[in-house]
Amino acid sequence: MAVIALGADHAGFPLKQALKTWLVTEGHVVLDYGTHATDAVDYPDFAGPVADAVADGSVQRGVLVCGSGVGMAIAANKVAGVRAAVAGEVEAARLGREHNDTNVLALGARVTSPALAREIVTVWLATPFAGGRHARRVEKLAALDRVRMERTGAAG
């Protein structure tokens, strides 16, 4: 079982709550970074802390939920070491893990049912990174992070 960070904005709050309950029943440890209500909030305020937790190794994976998943993925990918992807279907989640070693999954609450979200998360958590030719590509992504950090003087 994994330690998973969850985060959502107001649009994603109900789906996040459903996933949280389900993940705990599946035996995972879940750290909930909010939001904790349906009051309007800004998605970067929740994507950032989840992405930071993944990048610093506090958690193994992160799951973010907003209306489409796109905003959360964009925000999470600003953090060095994070490889976030939106997955609206099971195959995208599987390939994201297998080929891209994604460590953050973004879901769209307005376009993904709770049942489909559970299927997507199940496959995403269970799929290992294939390595091989894909490892070279993931290393190139890590190199982009290092170049950005050197350019900006950011710690990582």
- Tokens 């998605």: give the residue: 43
Question: How many other C-beta atoms are found inside a 10 Å radius of the C-beta of residue 42?
Answer: 12
Annotated catalytic residue within 10, 28, 66, 134: 66
Task: Tell me how far CA of residue 51 lies from CA of 59, 106, 132, in angstroms.
Answer: 10, 11, 26
- Phi/psi at 39 (5° precision): -65, 145
Task: Tell me how far CA of residue 24 lies from CA of 5, 12, 21, in angstroms.
Answer: 12, 18, 5
Task: Tell me how far CA of residue 103 lies from CA of 35, 41, 61, 150, in angstroms.
Answer: 20, 24, 5, 23
Q: What DSSP character marks residue 131?
A: -
Annotated catalytic residue within 10, 28, 36, 99: 99
Active site residue 99: yes
Active site residue 36: no
- Report, as residue numbers or ranges, the catalytic residues: 66, 99
